[in-house]
């Protein structure tokens, strides 16, 4: 019984072991089957997902290709830009080098200028000193010359006193013959001459060759202006002074014994003449110095080479003869064709000389 019990127990143990082994094998097979199913599931899923994303993958590939092309283009542009940058950098370096050279030149020129200015200042200082020395020497010479001049003037004054040179000069002046004989201008012609000259109160009238002084006396009495008569003949001067005193115009009229060809006419407003044509011409250099607007009137005779502004003819009631009065206004106007009139002028001169004789 015990043995049978032991055998049965052994059989049960063996059966349990068999069952355990079989369970173990079953579990192993099931595990392997699970792994296989899982793997197949994963593969199927992968295959399914791969089929769904193929279109997007192509698009991504196209975008990647475009991106690579853009990158290549950008690389080319960058390379070109880099090249241009290098060129610009070279040009900039050249400009900087040129600027540095110019700055050096400016420094050199500034240095030369400063040296020249300093030299000029030094030379100027030396020149000023030399000029001051020369001026001082010249002033000293001038002082010496002034002293010598004073000594000479004193000696001349003494000689004038000792030898009465003034009286000798007066005698010489009186010894010069008049250029023409005295022929009085009729009074109505005198008045026409002054009228034609448009004499005003503030005018200064000169009568060159005043004779008996009738023109300057008439100008003073009728217009109230100042007048001066000049004559080289002492007899005419005496007669003129008597005429001035007689008509009580001494406060306006002066009579002087002078050579009319030495007079300064620059301050005169009206000049009256009764001279030969050649004497009128001789006065032209003096008449050219008259102020603009000054008037010249001449009785009977023209002035060769100078065009008159006006010529009038009148018959005098005193001598019942025709007389001409010429008017010129300063500045004098040259007359054309004076060479063709030379013969006529000569005849006029001869007639005038005959008339005065």
Would you say residue 5 has pLDDT above 50? Answer: no
91 with 140, same domain: the answer is yes
Residue of higher predicted confidence among 347 and 50: 50
pLDDT at 86: 84
The pLDDT-based confidence of 341 (bands split at 50, 70, 90) is very low
Mean pLDDT for 273-298 is 96
Q: How far apart are CA 287 and CA 270, in angstroms?
A: 11
Percent of the chain with pLDDT over 70: 73
Judge if 253 and 221 occupy the same domain: yes
pLDDT of residue 354: 47
The whole-number pLDDT of residue 317 equals: 94
What's the pLDDT score for residue 262?
Answer: 93
More confident residue, 31 or 331: 331
Q: In the listed set 128, 163, 198, which residue is the last one of a domain according to the structure? A: 163
| 136: confidence class by pLDDT, cuts 50, 70, 90 | confident
Whether residue 216 is found in the same domain as residue 305 = yes
Whether residue 266 is predicted with pLDDT greater than 80 in this model: the reply is yes
Least confident of 29-43, 141-155, 268-282: 29-43
Does the residue 47 lie in any domain? no
* CATH number reported for the structural domain that contains residue 220 in this entry: 3.40.50.150
Please indicate, yes or no, whether residues 131 and 252 belong to a single structural domain of this protein.
no
One domain, residues 123 and 224: no
Overall domain count for the chain = 2
Q: Rounded CA gap, 337 and 297, in Å?
A: 22
**Cross-strand pairs, 206:** 228, 271
pLDDT of residue 346: 46
Confidence of residue 36 (pLDDT cuts 50, 70, 90): low
Q: Is the confidence at residue 17, as pLDDT, over 70?
A: no
Domain co-membership, 101 together with 245? no
| 256 and 317 assigned to the same domain | yes
- Helices 54-163 and 2-52: angle between axes, nearest 10 degrees: 40
Q: What pLDDT is stored for residue 79 in this prediction?
A: 78
pLDDT surpassing 60 at residue 243? yes
**149 and 197 share one domain:** no
More confident of the two residues 261 and 68: 261
Q: pLDDT band at 34, cuts 50/70/90?
A: low
From CA 279, how far away is CA 156, in angstroms rounded? 35
Confidence label for 151 from pLDDT (cuts 50, 70 and 90): confident
Give me the mean pLDDT over the 124-153 stretch. Answer: 79
Give whole-number Cα distances, 313 to 131, 169, 195, in Å: 68, 42, 14
pLDDT of residue 197 exceeding 80, the answer is yes
- Cα 310–Cα 312–Cα 318 angle in degrees, nearest 5: 145
Residue 331 DSSP one-character state = S
pLDDT recorded at residue 130: 81
Rg, the chain, Cα only: 68
The pLDDT confidence band at residue 181, using thresholds 50, 70 and 90, is confident
Please tell me the predicted confidence (pLDDT) of residue 165: 45
Structural domain for 249, as ranges:
187-356
Question: Are both 261 and 221 inside the same structural domain?
Answer: yes
- Note whether 303 and 267 are same-domain residues: yes
Per-residue confidence (pLDDT) for residue 43, from 0 to 100 = 56
97, exposed or middle or buried, with CB in 10 Å at 0-12, 13-18, 19+? exposed
Domain match, 131 and 83 both: yes
The answer to whether position 293 is within a domain reads yes
Which of the pair, 69 or 47, is modelled with greater confidence? 69
* Cis preceding-peptide flag for 43 (omega within 30 of 0): no
pLDDT beyond 90 at 102: no
Same domain, 206 and 308: yes
pLDDT at residue number 64: 74
Mean residue pLDDT of the chain comes to 80
Smallest CA-to-CA distance from 213 within 197, 194, 231 is with 231
| pLDDT tens readout for residues 304-336 | 999 999 999 999 999 999 999 999 999 999 887
Q: Which of 71-85, 177-191, 260-274 has the lowest mean pLDDT?
A: 71-85
Rounded CA separation 158/160 (Å): 5
CB count in 10 Å sphere of residue 103: 10
């Amino acid at each position: 019984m015990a043995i049978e019990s032991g055998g049965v127990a052994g059989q049960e143990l063996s059966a349990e072991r068999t069952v355990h082994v079989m369970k173990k094998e079953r579990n192993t097979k099931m595990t392997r089957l699970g792994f296989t199913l899982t793997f197949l599931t994963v593969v199927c899923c992968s295959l399914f997902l791969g089929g769904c994303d193929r279109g997007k993958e192509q698009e991504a590939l196209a975008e990647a290709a475009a991106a690579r092309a853009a990158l290549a283009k950008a690389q080319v542009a960058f390379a070109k830009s880099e090249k241009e940058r290098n060129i610009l950098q070279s040009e900039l370096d050249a400009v900087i080098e040129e600027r540095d050279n110019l700055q050096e030149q400016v420094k050199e020129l500034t240095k030369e200028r400063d040296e020249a200015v300093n030299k000029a200042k030094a030379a100027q200082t030396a020149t000023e000193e030399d000029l001051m020395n020369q001026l001082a020497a010249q002033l000293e010479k001038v002082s010496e010359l002034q002293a010598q001049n004073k000594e000479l003037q004193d000696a001349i004054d003494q000689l004038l006193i000792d030898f009465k040179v003034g009286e000798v000069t007066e005698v010489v002046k009186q010894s010069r013959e008049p250029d023409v004989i005295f022929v009085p201008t009729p009074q109505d012609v005198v008045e026409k001459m002054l009228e034609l000259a448009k004499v005003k109160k503030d005018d200064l009238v000169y009568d060159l060759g005043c004779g008996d002084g009738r023109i300057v006396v008439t100008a003073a009495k009728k217009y109230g202006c100042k007048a001066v008569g000049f004559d080289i003949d002492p007899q005419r001067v005496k007669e003129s002074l008597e005429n001035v005193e007689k008509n009580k115009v001494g406060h306006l009229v002066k009579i002087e014994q002078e050579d009319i060809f030495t007079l300064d006419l620059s301050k005169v407003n009206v000049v009256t003449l009764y001279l030969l044509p050649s004497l009128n011409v001789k006065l032209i250099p003096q008449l050219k110095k008259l102020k603009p607007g000054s008037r010249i009137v001449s009785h009977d005779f023209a002035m060769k080479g100078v065009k008159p502004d006006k010529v009038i003819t009148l018959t005098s009631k005193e001598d019942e003869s025709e007389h001409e009065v010429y008017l010129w206004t300063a500045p004098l106007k040259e007359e054309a064709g004076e060479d063709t009139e030379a013969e006529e002028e000569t005849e006029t001169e001869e007639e005038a000389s005959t008339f005065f004789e």
